């Protein structure tokens, strides 16, 4: 195709006309992505996968699922399709659903990165969200699989900005508020910046045999995603 000279009659074949239309559409697509950009193929988002909703019902945007087995015969970098199930495994990898989806529907989900998620905020000072076994609802806490980037004020289910895939063990300063039994559990206040921010159940199930921990004793406690528990890591000596 060549530009027409001013005053020349315009004669155009159907194939040339269709090519011009497609060129215009391509130009508009590039404009949406930014002037000067050339996009041949979509970039791979390594934190984004596709899941089949294999829970027992529909999921809302912001629900969380455990990632299970592939649902296609061959996985490729552009075809990462897995089953999404209610958390059931030990130390599972999880993802947040990005759109509403019916049972057995296919939907994008984020396993690493920042997105919106519905979190049941238990304490207004919650800093993290846990993936609770048997549930697709993230639960607010002071350690967990997701770091809360932003949350509205108050408690209850809130639409929050979260960083998914916070797999590091979170250690907190704490003070026992009940007796924590050797081989059992008790409760403790979490301290952030020297101030008590909330109360959690603490388990004394590792390095046991030294006797109970009394109320008022200062502790270090760790959150373990595999157990979905706060566990005593260290305690001050009792005289």
Task: Give the pLDDT confidence of 96-143 residue by residue, as tens digits.
Answer: 999 999 999 999 999 999 999 999 999 999 999 999 999 999 999 999
| Angle of CA points 59, 64, 67, to nearest 5° | 105
Q: How far, in Å, CA of 1 to CA of 23, rounded?
A: 12
pLDDT of 86 above 80: yes
Please give the structure tokens belonging to residue 81.
Answer: 């399709």
Contact (Cβ atoms closer than 8 angstroms) between residue 180 and residue 213: yes
Report the distance separating Cα 53 and Cα 48, nearest Å: 15
Q: How far apart are CA 239 and CA 236, in angstroms?
A: 10
3-class DSSP assignment, residue 21: helix
Q: What is the mean pLDDT of residues 22-43?
A: 59
pLDDT for 107 equals 93
| 83 burial type by CB count under 10 A (0-12 exposed, 13-18 middle, 19+ buried) | middle
Residue 29: which pLDDT band, with cuts at 50, 70 and 90?
low
How far apart (Å, rounded) are the C-alpha atoms in residues 173 and 150? 23
pLDDT in tens, 178-193: 999 999 999 999 999 9
C-alpha to C-alpha distance for 182 and 209, rounded to whole angstroms: 7
Q: Give the least confident one: 25-39, 79-93, 224-238.
A: 25-39
- Residue 90: the pLDDT is 80
Bridge pairing between strands 94-97 and 106-110:
antiparallel
Compute φ and ψ for 37, nearest 5 degrees: -85, 150
| Local structure of 18: helix, strand or coil | helix
pLDDT band at 75 (very low <50, low <70, confident <90, very high): confident
The C-alpha R_g of the chain, in whole angstroms, comes to 26
Report CA-CA distances (Å) from 54 to 61, 83, 125, 207: 15, 6, 33, 39
The token duo for 101 is 């989806």
The token duo for 64 is 């969380």
Q: Is the pLDDT of residue 41 over 70?
A: no
Give the pLDDT confidence of 3-27 residue by residue, as tens digits: 667 777 777 777 777 777 777 776 6
Query: Fold for domain 170-235?
Result: OB fold (Dihydrolipoamide Acetyltransferase, E2P) (2.40.50)
User: Is the pLDDT higher at 236 or at 18?
Assistant: 236
- Tokens 């910046």 — which residue? 193
The strand pairing partners of 225, in sequence order, are none
pLDDT in the model for residue 72: 86
CB atoms within 10 A of CB 182: 14
Domain assignments of the chain as residue spans, ordered by start: 44-168, 170-235
């Amino acid at each position: 195709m060549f530009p027409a000279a001013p005053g020349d009659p315009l004669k155009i074949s159907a194939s040339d006309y269709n090519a011009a239309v497609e060129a215009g559409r391509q130009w508009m697509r590039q404009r949406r992505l930014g002037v000067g950009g050339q996009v041949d193929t979509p970039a791979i988002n390594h934190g984004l996968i596709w899941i089949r909703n294999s829970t027992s019902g529909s999921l809302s945007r912001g629900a969380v699922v455990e990632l299970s087995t592939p649902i296609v015969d061959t996985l490729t970098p552009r075809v990462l399709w897995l089953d999404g199930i209610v958390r059931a495994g030990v130390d599972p990898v999880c993802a947040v659903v990005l759109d509403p989806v019916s049972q057995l529907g296919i939907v994008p989900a984020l396993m690493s990165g920042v997105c919106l998620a519905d979190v049941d905020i238990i304490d207004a000072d919650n800093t993290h969200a846990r993936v609770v076994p048997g549930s697709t609802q993230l639960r607010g806490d002071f350690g967990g699989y997701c770091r809360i980037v932003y949350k509205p004020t108050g408690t209850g289910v809130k639409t929050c900005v979260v960083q998914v895939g916070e797999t590091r063990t979170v250690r907190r300063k704490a003070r026992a508020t009940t007796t924590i039994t050797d081989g059992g559990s008790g409760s403790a206040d979490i301290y952030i910046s020297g101030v008590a921010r909330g109360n959690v159940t603490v388990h004394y199930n590792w390095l046991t045999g030294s006797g109970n921990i009394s109320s008022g004793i200062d502790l270090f406690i760790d959150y373990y995603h595999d157990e979905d528990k706060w566990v005593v890591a260290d305690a001050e000596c009792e005289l």
